[in-house]
Amino acid sequence: MSSLVVSPVAAPAPSASAADQVASKPARGWLLGPVLDSLFIANLAWPLVALFAMVATETAAYQTFGYLLAYFIIMPHRWITLPLVFGDRQRLRQRPLAYLVVLAAVLGSCALVKLSMASLALLVAVDYLWNAWHFAGQHGGIYRIYSRVAGQIAAPEWEKWLLRGFFLFVLLRLTATFIPENSQPWLDAVAAAGPYLAWLDWVALAVAGGLVVRELWWFRQRRSSLAGVLYLVSICTLYCTLLMAIRFDARPLILGCALATTLVHSSEYLAIVSWHAPKSRGLQESALLRPLLAHWLLTLVGFMSIFAITTALLSGPYLATWLWINLNVSFLHYAYDGMIWKRPKAKTA
């Protein structure tokens, strides 16, 4: 969700359906409302998730939670980007060729690697690195949404890159931590670079702390909203905790925070889509999607359930094919997500 901002295609539809009322801004600064924003965007309960992962790793409850996280939350949050793109007629009319070129490039590249290489190690590595960039861009973009909803003046570009760089740095430190010994040469090089990046940990913490302090100051001056403060404080606290766990090699805490970041990323994306989709004019033009948008909560839960049930029923080569399809969808999610949430550039006179 690179540079996630409010765009013209997200303008409210003329109809006043129940979904529109849920998705409209209920109070100054909130997107879905204080409770929903706190639970699913700011994810204030992430410490409980991290603690659960730390103490229940070997239990059946943890395995069940991991399955639901992977196939009820993570997988649907990637697939839902496709109807946002191809179900939005306004969006398709604006850049039809660009979306088709991305589709052909992703599917063609994945097929070429699959047919020409003995393993999918290259695609897995690309997926992880691209996903890290995607995580960082989405967190920064949601923070900018809150800033604009609160009426703040647009932040300078350097601030956007500073915040995104902090998230990306922590995720790269996490990557170097989990690379096994005697892996592929280029992966060994990444792991070896980890200790040399450690001196930047305090710089990264200072960056996050400075941005949080400034946001709190702005809130005191009534230049930001409580929703934006909660989001930035929560997400920065999570990543700072993860970074300190990596620095001091606290493995259980690393695993707990890593799991929490995955849940936070996926749930906040589904929440932002829930804020955007029911009031999108482009999606409302679709005769197929219009009745689904009118019952958004039921639609979303049903959509998420499809992937958990399908994965549970498949086995053997069918499951392998299904997971391969999902790898392709992941790349489409990263690529399209960087396109559909950007604010159009202002036209010069």
| CB crowding 298-331: b at 16 or more within 10 Å, else e | ebbeeebeebbeebeeeeeeeeeebeeebbbbbb
Q: How confident is the model at residue 21 (pLDDT cuts 50, 70, 90)?
A: very low
Helix (H) / strand (E) element for 93: namely helix 89-94
Q: What is the reported pLDDT for 328?
A: 96
Nearest to 274 by CA among 39, 3, 15: 39
295 DSSP assignment: T
Average confidence (pLDDT) over 223-234 = 93
Nearest to 141 by CA among 285, 257, 23, 31: 31
Q: How confident is the model at residue 246 (pLDDT cuts 50, 70, 90)?
A: very high
**pLDDT surpassing 60 at residue 197:** yes
DSSP letters, 165-227, are: HHHHHHHHHHHHHHPPTT--HHHHHHHHHHHHHGGGHHHHHHHHHHHHHHHHHHHHTTSS-HH
Q: What is the reported pLDDT for 274?
A: 95
Cβ atoms of 32 and 23 within 8 Å: the answer is yes
Cβ atoms of 170 and 243 within 8 Å: the answer is yes
Helix (H) / strand (E) element for 135: namely helix 121-149
pLDDT per residue over 340-349, tens digit each?
Answer: 987 655 444 4
Q: What is the reported pLDDT for 198?
A: 84
| Span of 131-135, 137-141, 180-184, 336-340 with lowest mean pLDDT | 180-184
Cβ atoms of 328 and 120 within 8 Å: the answer is no
Measure the CA–CA gap between 160 and 146, rounded to whole angstroms: 13
Average pLDDT value for the chain: 86
Nearest to 146 by CA among 84, 56, 47, 231: 231
Position with higher pLDDT, 209 vs 115: 209
pLDDT per residue over 62-112, tens digit each?
Answer: 999 999 999 999 999 999 999 999 999 888 999 999 999 999 999 999 999
State how far the alpha carbon of 109 is from the alpha carbons of 321, 332, 339, in Å: 17, 12, 19
Tokens of 13: 């539809």
The alpha carbon torsion through 317, 321, 323, 327 (nearest 10 deg) reads: 150
pLDDT per residue over 298-320, tens digit each?
Answer: 999 999 999 999 999 998 889 99
Cβ atoms of 270 and 79 within 8 Å: the answer is no
Measure the CA–CA gap between 131 and 139, rounded to whole angstroms: 12
Is the model's pTM score more than 0.75? yes
Tokens of 325: 């399809």
Q: What is the reported pLDDT for 175?
A: 82
Helix axes 121-149, 251-276, angle to 10 degrees: 60
Average confidence (pLDDT) over 322-329 = 94
Q: What is the reported pLDDT for 88?
A: 92
Sign, CA dihedral 268-271-272-273, equals positive
Measure the CA–CA gap between 83 and 87, rounded to whole angstroms: 5
Q: What is the CA radius of gyration of the chain?
A: 20
Average confidence (pLDDT) over 253-277 = 96
| Span of 137-151, 169-183, 215-229 with lowest mean pLDDT | 169-183
Q: How confident is the model at residue 1 (pLDDT cuts 50, 70, 90)?
A: low
Nearest to 291 by CA among 18, 89, 14: 18
Q: How confident is the model at residue 5 (pLDDT cuts 50, 70, 90)?
A: very low
Average confidence (pLDDT) over 133-152 = 90
Average confidence (pLDDT) over 26-31 = 74
Amino acid, single-letter form, for residue 82: L
**pLDDT surpassing 60 at residue 11:** no
**pLDDT surpassing 80 at residue 189:** no
DSSP letters, 142-177, are: HHHHHHHHTTPPPPPHHHHHHHHHHHHHHHHHHHHH
Position with higher pLDDT, 346 vs 224: 224
Measure the CA–CA gap between 303 and 315, rounded to whole angstroms: 21
Measure the CA–CA gap between 118 and 49, rounded to whole angstroms: 37
Measure the CA–CA gap between 99 and 161, rounded to whole angstroms: 26
Tokens of 2: 């690179």
